[in-house]
Structure 1
Amino acid sequence: MSQTTSAILKSSNLSAAALMVVAGLAFAGVNVALQWAGMIGGLSSTSIAFWQYFLALIFALPLIWRHGLGAMRTGRPVLHIARVVLSAGGVQLWIMALAHVPLWQAIALSMTSPFFVLAGASLFLRERVSLTRIGATIFGFIGALIIIAPWSEQFTLHALLPIAAAALWAGASLITKELTKSERPESIALYLLLLLTPVNLALYLGSGFAWPPSDGWMILLVAGVLTAAAQYALTRAYAVADASYLQPFEDLKLPLNIILGWVVFGFAPDAGFWPGAAMIVLGSLYVMGREGTSGRRTAKA
């Protein structure tokens, strides 16, 4: 591998890592906004889901203005539909889980997705999954286990719902990576938002359509903006780096969500959270550092 190629790969990986952090921050903001809308605003879950993604679609429309109708051109509609089906199923399981599992515990359980992604990336995308990536993911997952404490009396079968959601979202992530081989990031982000809207609308109508109260619109607007930003950053990250490389950075969503929820709501997890969160962060940083070191060694060879 030439020095120029190695430098490009290193730069791409670091850019993707930064995009994953941006997406994680945006998703943390979304979760806090949605929790505010449900707990304080009194909005139903179907109402929140519809307006969240509908408003995100509205805020993403400037991408069409910027890139023209070419942003909607696709040669793989079946993959877009499959991605939306998996995403919608994950959202519904996630909502069901939050009715029984504390948010911070549900987020920790959802971090089992790297195992599904690593397996899928190797089997279906033919990506090389290094021992470094596997080790960092396992290290982060052990940190999640410390937080979850499955040996405690509070652990119930409802905890399987976030794991099921994680499996569906992992499938959606793998499809996202596959789509980036032939589709523009703008198209991938727009199609998700566009196709999720009728699905969420059907669920909204089925539960009884009701307009949000006037004081609920601002938080829904915030959720819509952050959702659009998060989806775009996530798609851009998958466009420039391997799915298996990006997975440890998914672990950052736990400390980001917990810290932001602590600041906004004052919800403080127990003492077991802190060492577990530290392991999650260290696992992600270790992968980024190893990728950079690998790139420098290759450049010198």
Structure 2
Amino acid sequence: MTRLISTIGPAAAGAFLMILAGALFAADNTLVQYGAMTLGIPPARIAFWQYFIAFLFALPWLVSQGAAAMRTGQFGLHVIRVASAAIGVQLWVAGLAHVPIWQAIALVMLSPFFVTLGAALLLREAAGAERWLAVSTGFAGGMIILAPWSDGFTPYALLPVAAAALWALTSLLTKFLTRRESPESLTVYLLLLLTPLNAALGWEQGLQFMGGAAGLVLVASGLLTALAQYALTKAYSVADAAFLQPFDHIKLPFNVALGLAVFGFVPPGSMWVGSALIVAASFYLLRRESRVAAVA
């Protein structure tokens, strides 16, 4: 990785890693949807094994951090943060069991707007007319993708929206905790608490490992999750978040292409219209925040 950065530079390396993370997440989403829709694996069981196997791959790093990273005066907030992330994962996987991958990934892109909304309501951050315009435009795009007025609407499509809201809460709690906690502490508690919380949420559906094709899907999903998270974290470590944000949106065509190739899911024109509104609003919001940060 160091050689790649020194060869093409940190900006290009960050962009490459962000695109790689998007491709890995798209492959992972496709596997999860195949396991749930085709093989009939209970969604909660997929979520548990997906992140437990990812946890095993991350275990060497976890051990290297030692007890120092576990010192905290905010344990309760760590639990709430990871619980919101875990429930979001459960809802996301449950959504993939019922709705086309293009719809799920487009709707989960609403998360930044929930972050903006939550920052104003929970963290009391100032929110001017420009912010509210961006949030309103993003949610309008989400409504076009949801199309609750159409005959094809299913309440299952609300699951990715709920996942986006919970992951936004996770982001807000992360932002709050970084005022007193180290990044290492946040990561360690996420890895340590996510598996038992997923186990508790999936206990009723059963957590037993499955053999054959189902077992291969679970292992591959865990490996892809670990690799994608590593690529994402590494991207943010070598390049600025504002620079990387446009490359994050490339995950949408990756997911659409795999959904079409594997399941034959053909997105309607309204998906592109709604997604265009979400992407445009997120860019507008990003530029505004960058200007504010530069002035401050």
Which of 79, 88, 91 is 2:89 aligned to? 91
Q: Alpha carbons of 1:124 and 1:274: their partners in 2 closer, same or farther (altered >3 Å)? A: closer
Identity among equivalent pairs (%): 50
CA contact (8 A) 2:50 2:219 kept: yes
Partner of 1:174: 172
Partner SS state of residue 63, structure 1: helix
Per the TM alignment, residue 204 of structure 1 is displaced from its structure 2 partner at its CA by: 4.2
Per the TM alignment, residue 255 of structure 1 is displaced from its structure 2 partner at its CA by: 4.2
CA contact (8 A) 2:33 2:97 kept: no
Aligned residues: 285
More displaced, 189-198 or 51-60?
189-198
Q: Alpha carbons of 1:70 and 1:236: their partners in 2 closer, same or farther (altered >3 Å)? A: farther
Partner of 2:6: none
CA contact (8 A) 2:21 2:228 kept: yes
Q: Alpha carbons of 1:227 and 1:73: their partners in 2 closer, same or farther (altered >3 Å)? A: farther
Partner of 1:6: none
Counterparts of 1:50-69 in structure 2, within 5 Å, are: 50-69=48-67
Partner of 2:161: 163
Partner of 1:275: 273
Per the TM alignment, residue 139 of structure 1 is displaced from its structure 2 partner at its CA by: 3.5
Q: Distance in 2 between matches of 1:64 and 1:246?
A: 26
Q: Alpha carbons of 1:55 and 1:114: their partners in 2 closer, same or farther (altered >3 Å)? A: same
Q: Alpha carbons of 1:93 and 1:297: their partners in 2 closer, same or farther (altered >3 Å)? A: closer
Q: Distance in 2 between matches of 1:47 and 1:99?
A: 12
Per the TM alignment, residue 83 of structure 1 is displaced from its structure 2 partner at its CA by: 1.1
Unaligned runs of 5+ in 2: 1-11
Amino acid at match of 1:176: T
Per the TM alignment, residue 154 of structure 1 is displaced from its structure 2 partner at its CA by: 2.0
Deviations 1:53-99 (A, max 9, x none): 11111111232344444333333211110012222333333444445
Q: Distance in 2 between matches of 1:201 and 1:22?
A: 29
Partner of 1:145: 143
Per the TM alignment, residue 192 of structure 1 is displaced from its structure 2 partner at its CA by: 1.9
Partner of 1:221: 219
Task: Using structure 2 for the length normalisation, give the TM-score.
Answer: 0.73
Q: Alpha carbons of 1:90 and 1:127: their partners in 2 closer, same or farther (altered >3 Å)? A: same
Per the TM alignment, residue 197 of structure 1 is displaced from its structure 2 partner at its CA by: 1.2
Which of 43, 59, 62 is 2:41 aligned to? 43
